[in-house]
């Protein structure tokens, strides 16, 4: 992606200093342009591959037939050999809606003599991008950040060259699993140049090993009580973005507030959260969320049994298990899911 930017979109500019993904923060719309460009390159060579797109609201994913099928709100159905669910933020949390609402609120508040604060709910890359965009566009009003953590996410850090992990526990206890991560973080802090953030980043692969040993009851406990906290300490910002946000907070124009007393219906409060919903996935499948689990390759199980020809990757996968929390992890998970699938042909559509 960085090479694509340097070669075309910002050739000869400051983007030429990029060396690794942690140096970059870009809107998803820009990355979407990159992905479509790569698709175009590949399809120009592979004349045997065809892509058909559907535009519509999926209300149900069925798995009770010969193969998985999608039911759309308008009544149309589409049957597939394999379905990949790669969403999870829900209709109410669309990225474009957050940007548009924040921009509209900033314009409206700028016209008032004594405007109230503009409140942004969230604590991830989306909130960071929106806040910095508003300031770069000249908005000078007071901004509140409503986040339960009350602090910024950590910046990306370089992993320590000599980082080594002890053997992960083979037990079936959530307490033991997180005790292992805590011990590894303390050990990393004690080493020269060690940082606990690097341990949390690198521990994702090890957590997959631990996760396989946990019974469904322990996995549900994690989802209900620890997932939000784990996500907060796993979310990372590009170092430059982190520095700019820290400098913005130092000005006093932007500060953290408690989200407990907020009302989402307030037109001056913008929801910028990136909280994937396991319940939304369970709703699509018409099943109990406590019976769902996802493995490293995105394969879905229900009550311990695999759901055939259905994979769940990306943000929605991290609503049921530890990770993926970074884009690199999502790419690896998507590769594993695609390689494990065995599609046979094109989608078949019908109307009742």
How does pLDDT run across 87-101, given as a tens digit for each residue?
655 544 466 778 888
CB within 8 Å of 102: residues ≥ 6 apart: 118, 120, 130, 134, 270, 272
Asked if pLDDT for residue 25 goes beyond 60, the answer is no
**Of 62-66, 116-120, 175-179, 197-201, which gets the smallest average pLDDT?**
197-201
- How buried is residue 344: exposed, middle or buried, by Cβ count under 10 Å (0-12/13-18/19+)? exposed
Q: How far apart are the first and last CA of the chain?
A: 43
Highest mean pLDDT pick, 68-82, 104-118, 160-174, 265-279: 104-118
Task: Determine the pLDDT at residue 51.
Answer: 75
Task: Determine the pLDDT at residue 116.
Answer: 92
Task: Determine the pLDDT at residue 18.
Answer: 44
Task: Determine the pLDDT at residue 111.
Answer: 92
Asked if pLDDT for residue 205 goes beyond 70, the answer is no
**pTM confidence score:** 0.67
- List helix spans (H) across the chain: 2-4, 28-45, 95-110, 125-136, 174-190, 196-213, 216-221, 227-234, 239-250, 278-285, 327-340
Check if the beta carbon of residue 84 is closer than 8 Å to that of residue 94: no
Residues 84-98, buried b or exposed e (16+ Cβ, 10 A)? bbbbbbeeebebeeb
Residues 161-176, buried b or exposed e (16+ Cβ, 10 A)? eebeeeebeeeeebeb
Task: Determine the pLDDT at residue 17.
Answer: 43
Check if the beta carbon of residue 137 is closer than 8 Å to that of residue 106: yes
The number of beta carbons lying within 10 Å of the beta carbon of residue 124 is: 18
Q: How far apart are CA 88 and CA 215, in angstroms?
A: 24
- How buried is residue 237: exposed, middle or buried, by Cβ count under 10 Å (0-12/13-18/19+)? buried
DSSP character string of 51-93: -----S-EEEEE-SSSS-EEEETTS-EEE-S-EEE---S-GGG
Of residues 321 and 105, which shows the higher confidence score?
A: 105
Q: What is the mean pLDDT of residues 51-78?
A: 83
**Of 85-99, 209-223, 334-348, which gets the smallest average pLDDT?**
85-99
Asked if pLDDT for residue 120 goes beyond 80, the answer is yes
What's the pLDDT band for 117 if we cut at 50, 70, 90? very high
Among candidates 244, 247, 211, 249, which has minimal Cα distance to 230? 211
Among candidates 176, 327, 180, which has minimal Cα distance to 188? 180
The SS3 call for residue 106 is helix
Task: Determine the pLDDT at residue 19.
Answer: 46
Highest mean pLDDT pick, 96-100, 121-125, 259-263, 305-309: 305-309
Task: Give 155-184 pLDDT, tens digit per residue.
Answer: 776 655 555 666 766 777 878 877 877 777
Asked if pLDDT for residue 352 goes beyond 60, the answer is no
Arithmetic mean of pLDDT over the chain: 77
Task: Give 153-163 pLDDT, tens digit per residue.
Answer: 777 766 555 55
Task: Give 225-247 pLDDT, tens digit per residue.
Answer: 877 777 777 777 878 888 899 99
Check if the beta carbon of residue 323 is closer than 8 Å to that of residue 230: no
Task: Determine the pLDDT at residue 350.
Answer: 53
**Of 82-86, 97-101, 195-199, 299-303, which gets the smallest average pLDDT?**
195-199
Which of the 8 DSSP states describes residue 141?
S
Among candidates 167, 121, 182, which has minimal Cα distance to 147? 121
Among candidates 9, 67, 115, 20, which has minimal Cα distance to 342? 67
Radius of gyration of the chain from Cα atoms?
A: 22
What's the pLDDT band for 264 if we cut at 50, 70, 90? low
Asked if pLDDT for residue 105 goes beyond 90, the answer is yes
Asked if pLDDT for residue 57 goes beyond 60, the answer is yes
Q: HSE (CB half, 13 Å, CA atoms) of 42?
A: 9
């Amino acid at each position: 992606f960085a090479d694509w930017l340097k070669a075309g979109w910002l050739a000869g500019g400051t983007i030429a200093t990029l060396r690794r993904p942690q140096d970059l923060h870009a809107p998803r719309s820009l990355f979407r342009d990159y992905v479509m460009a790569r698709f175009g390159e590949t399809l120009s060579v592979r004349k045997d591959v065809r892509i058909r797109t559907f535009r519509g609201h999926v209300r149900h994913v069925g798995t009770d037939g010969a193969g998985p099928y999608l039911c759309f709100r308008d009544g149309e159905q589409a049957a597939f050999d394999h379905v990949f669910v790669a969403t999870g933020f829900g209709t109410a949390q669309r990225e474009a809606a957050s940007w548009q609402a924040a921009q509209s609120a900033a314009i409206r508040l700028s016209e008032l003599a004594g405007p109230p604060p503009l409140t942004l709910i969230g604590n991830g890359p989306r909130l960071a991008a929106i806040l910095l965009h508003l300031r770069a566009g000249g908005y000078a009003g007071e901004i509140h950040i409503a986040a339960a953590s009350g602090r910024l996410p950590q910046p990306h850090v370089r992993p320590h060259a000599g980082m080594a992990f002890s053997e992960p526990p083979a037990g079936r206890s959530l307490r033991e699993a997180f005790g292992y991560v805590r011990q590894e973080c303390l050990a990393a802090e004690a080493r020269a140049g060690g940082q606990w953030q690097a341990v949390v980043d690198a521990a994702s692969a090890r957590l997959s090993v631990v996760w396989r040993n946990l019974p469904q009851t322990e996995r549900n406990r994690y989802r209900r009580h620890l997932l939000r906290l784990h996500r907060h300490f796993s979310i990372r910002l590009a170092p430059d973005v982190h520095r700019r946000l820290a400098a913005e907070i130092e000005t006093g124009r932007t500060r953290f507030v408690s989200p407990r007393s907020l009302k989402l219906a307030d037109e001056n409060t913008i929801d910028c959260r990136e909280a994937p919903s396991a319940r939304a996935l369970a709703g699509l499948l018409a099943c109990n969320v406590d019976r769902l689990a996802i493995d490293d390759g995105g394969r879905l199980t229900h009550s311990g049994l695999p759901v055939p020809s259905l994979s769940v990757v990306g943000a929605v996968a991290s609503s049921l298990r530890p990770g993926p929390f970074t884009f690199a992890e999502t790419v690896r998970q998507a590769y594993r899911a695609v390689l494990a699938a065995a599609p046979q042909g094109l989608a078949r559509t019908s109307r009742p």
